[in-house]
Amino acid sequence: MFCRCLGFVFLLSFPGQLLGQIPAEPCSAPQLDGGFLVPEQRSYLHESSLAYACNAGKKPAVEGWWATSVCLNGLWSHIPQCIDENTCFTPNVPHGKYGESPDGLWYKDGSVIRIKCDEGYKHKGWGVTATCKKGAWSPLPVCERSETSCNEPPNIPHAVVLHKYQHIFAADSEVRYECDDGYSMEGANARKSIFCVSGTWKDVPSCTISKHSPGNGDTTGVIAKPVDSERGRGGANTGGFPSRAPGNPRETGLESTSDKDSTISPLITDVDNCGPYPKVPNGDVVRKKTMSLRYACNGFYKRIGPETVVCYNNGSWSQLPTCKEAYCQIDLDEYRHYSLQESGTIILKERESKKVQCIWTFYSSLITCTKGKARVTPCCHYLDHYWQRCY
């Protein structure tokens, strides 16, 4: 009894050691050339902060004449640094891009950048460049919306746009609409492209119910593909149908286009006539109509085969889709030499990406999943223009 109590006291006294918790590391005092720290110590505890300022002719590496930094588990939120006071910081140009500095995060006195406006935007006035002069930028170019650009495409009932969403589209942009199952555009097409012309989307289509679509109540002349299943085989003189099974064309009122043709394909009928809905591993029915079922795969799987399944009046189902794995599983412990802050296993969907913080401030690694294979990049600056260079 005494030993049990002693063990309980030991558990309460040292829970961190038993659970494998590692105490946060302190930070060493940063080396600051051309400035001074407050308070000035040999080391700083986790989550403690310091302030610093720079001598004449220099300034902190962040905005302001003084700056603060925080110790986070052995690393500073930003490394205190004093730079030349005539250096310019990275400018913010809404809806515009420019080249990166060859010197890192700052631009030397006299540096010139050229602004390129995003698609759908144009330069306001004639200025397209800016110059760093004694720590400040000359008036930065402004990117304003072009009068020839278009807003997002119109919302059409029963349709989606096959393009990633964005607010502004440049002139001559093309987007394609696709109608929902059972709907079509002019000419019985399910897809149509429209174009941005002088600020307006031209020839916007509409999706209307197809004349002979399943679920429209009109099954006349709707011929399905022939099937070969034990359930659908009848006698020699039945034309492929069971002689008295539910779903016989004479019982349902769905007359074939030629009763005299014994080789005619079975017709589509109400999905409830085929009994329980087919099961698709890692997938499920996401929408039920009178004449069709729509399947979708789980989040980490990709559909292969038809999206829509119908019931034939011989009691069989049309071809089912399959759900194929579409994800990557990455063990970050295998990339310790990349100096990542995270560890363990992560799972990404197909074409998904994730940034993982590195042990250095302003550095991250990009992990992507493409065709079931993961790609882990070395650590790099996570500012946009640096990511473009590194990846």
CATH code of 53's domain: 2.10.70.10
CB proximity list for 183: less than 8 A, separation 6 or greater: 158, 159, 190, 207, 208, 209, 210, 213
- pLDDT tens digits for 286-317? 888 888 898 988 877 888 888 899 998 888 89
pLDDT over threshold 70, residue 248:
no
Output the pLDDT for position 373.
84
- What is the spatial distance between Cα 200 and Cα 148, in angstroms, rounded to a whole number? 8
- Mean pLDDT along residues 206-223: 56
- Lowest-pLDDT range of 179-183, 230-234, 267-271, 288-292: 230-234
In whole angstroms, give the CA distance from residue 161 to residue 155: 9
Q: What is the pLDDT of residues 141-154, one digit of tens each?
A: 999 999 999 999 99
Q: Give the model confidence (pLDDT) of 98-112 as tens digits.
A: 888 876 678 999 999
Residues 381 and 317 in one domain: no
Does 126 share its domain with 180?
Answer: no
Q: Which residue has the higher pLDDT, 120 or 267?
A: 120
Q: Does position 349 have pLDDT exceeding 90, yes or no? A: no
Q: Are 348 and 369 in contact (CB under 8 A)?
A: yes
153 — alpha (psi -120 to 50), left (phi > 0) or beta? Answer: beta
Last residue within a domain, chosen from 35, 63, 84: 84
Residues 234 and 317 in one domain: yes
- For the stretch 155-183, pLDDT in tens is 888 888 888 888 899 999 999 888 888 88
Question: Coil, helix or strand for 36?
Answer: strand
Number of domains in the chain: 5
Asked if residue 214 belongs to a domain, the reply is no
Asked which of 296, 325, 354 is the last residue of a domain, the reply is 325
Q: Is residue 28 predicted with pLDDT exceeding 60?
A: yes
Structural domain boundaries, residue 136:
88-145
Question: For 362, left (φ over 0), alpha (ψ -120 to 50), or beta?
Answer: left
Report if pTM > 0.85: no
Average pLDDT over residues 346-358: 83
Query: Is the same domain home to 78 and 109?
Result: no
Last residue in a domain, options 325, 350, 379: 325
* pLDDT reported for residue 9: 43
- The DSSP bridge partners found for residue 196 are 201
Q: What is the rounded average pLDDT of the residues 330-337?
A: 83
